[in-house]
A and B are shown apart, each in its own frame.
Chain A
Amino acid sequence: MISVADICFYCLGAMLLILAGLTVLSKNLFRSVLAFLGVILCTAVLFISLRAEMVALAQLMVYVGGILIFVLYAVFLTSELGGKMPDPGQRRTFIAVTASMFSLAVLLGLAWQFYGPLGAEQVIEPNIASLKSLGFRLLNPGPDGFLIPFELISVLLLAAMVGAIAIAKQSAKSGAKS
């Protein structure tokens, strides 16, 4: 028996696949960024339909509010309006296809474990991805917490920021000389 939720899920999945294809295959760099925006929105809806609102919101905030805007800036500064991407060439196409086939195989292998009707032990508890439980787990030093990775990521971000400032200072100095 197919329910309304199932139909929605398959429509969303089809849309997601089409948009993901467009992201990779479009010759116009700007169009592929737009398709990527569609992919992000579809994935967010998928997360919401799986009752993981917090993950969906975090994805929207990070990707739409951050990464996508930087990607757009990069596109604006490097490409012309209506400019076409050059053909990638056989070697790069071969590498790309091999890499994506490999990741597809890994994903299918993972999905295979959960194929068929789910047992009671495989159904996760409903509030596992809520804001509260995520917050507690991120700051929990115990065995099921992520305090150390969390702090390490902050250090990584700090290092990246200091690096960016150092690079900016260097170019400002050389700009002043020339």
Chain B
Amino acid sequence: MTPLSITHPLGDWIRQQLPSPFAAIANGLIAVIAIAMLVVVTAIFLVWLERKVCARFQARLGPTRVGPFGLLQPVADAIKLLMKENIRPRTVDQLAYFLAPLLPITGSFLVLIVIPFDHNLQVLDPDAGIVYVTAVSGMGILGVLIGGWGSNNKYSLLGSMRAGAQLFSYELSMVLCMLLIVMASGTASLRNIVLSQQGTILDWWIFKLPVAGLVAFLLFIVSSTAELNRGPLDLSEAEQELTGGFHTEYTGISFSMFFLAEFVNMFAAAGLGATLFLGGFLAPQIGWHPVDQLLAFIPGFIWFAAKAYFLIFLYMWTRWTFPRLRIDHLLSLEWKFLLPASLANLLLAATLVLFKWVIP
């Protein structure tokens, strides 16, 4: 398989043109700008997709007027949000109120840096990629907590407390699912995890570990839905009880930062799921040569996007299908069901790996 790549020649060309410290800075800047573009475009597209999917589930059409299929609707929305007055209540903690919207978006931006989009399309590949992901995703929780408290509003505070409890508990089972993949593939670097799934579809970790892989995938989907604060587990901003939850006091651009982070986080989580369970950028080979050749011809980042958007569709599907849980039900779901289940699943997977009972 020949990786289609423009990033290596580009980096080398810049290294030839500029002296040593500046070339590193220029390459870093290019990577950061590329990820920032990805963040903005993904967020705008996902807002459109969410509205369309939601509309279809409710037997409506969704946005149709602005641009073809209403594709420019989120752009119009974004312009509206940016033009709105950024109201800053007098009684808030000024520093906290300013700082909080920046943290979640920073967290999801930092996660996107290690996700392998294609063979050579990854900004950084640390040895401990999974550890990195868990480390920086804590930023999101911090932003929600600080924002909710700094707003000086009871709804915000209650919303942020709930969000903190929820994010913190569901992170446990999510990390356990990731740990399972680390154990099975023998590496914690995201790129090597993808490369450990080379072969046919049956070599993806969701199928390769009999039963345990599928269970881990389902647990990952449920716990990441909670991590993303999405319905049916979106208690921190339950409109009926808490008005807007932790972002009640936020308006205009600072609200849209939270909003943006939510959608980018969804993309990051879906990308992580695709990387860990669905073979990341690898083409879905079925073991029949002519078809495999055709599938391998399609570049990896398209496969990656297809898998990630499939997972995003799953998130949206569950959001518009199930009713919202109550907070105590939510916490007992995690502590009494998901956590024991993921621990048992980890044990099962350990047995499978130890005795090499994996699908060859």
Contacts and interface: CB of A to CB of B under 8 A. Distances in A.
A48 B349 CA distance: 33
A133 to B, nearest CB: 10
Interface string B108-149: 000000000000000000111001101111110110011001
A4 interface: yes
A36 to B, nearest CB: 12
B310 interface: no
Interface residues of B, number: 31
A81 B126 CA distance: 40
A60 interface: yes
Contacts of A96: none
A37 interface: yes
A130 B188 CA distance: 12
Contacts of B91: 81
B27 interface: no
A73 B164 contact: yes
B128 A72 contact: no
A53 B138 CA distance: 17
B13 interface: no
A34 interface: yes
Nearest to A130: B127
Nearest to A58: B131
Contacts of A61: 131, 134-135, 138
B1 interface: no
B135 A60 contact: yes
A34 B96 contact: yes
B128 A76 contact: no
Contact of B157 (A4, A76, A82, A130): A76
Contacts of A54: 127-128, 131
Contacts of B135: 57-58, 60-61, 64-65
B99 interface: yes
B152 interface: yes
A31 B95 contact: yes
Interface string A58-72: 101100111011001
B237 interface: no
A53 B168 contact: no
B134 A65 contact: yes
Interface in B143-174: 145-146, 149-150, 152, 157, 161, 164, 168, 171
Interface of B: 21, 91-93, 95-96, 99, 126-128, 131-132, 134-139, 141-142, 145-146, 149-150, 152, 157, 161, 164, 168, 171, 188
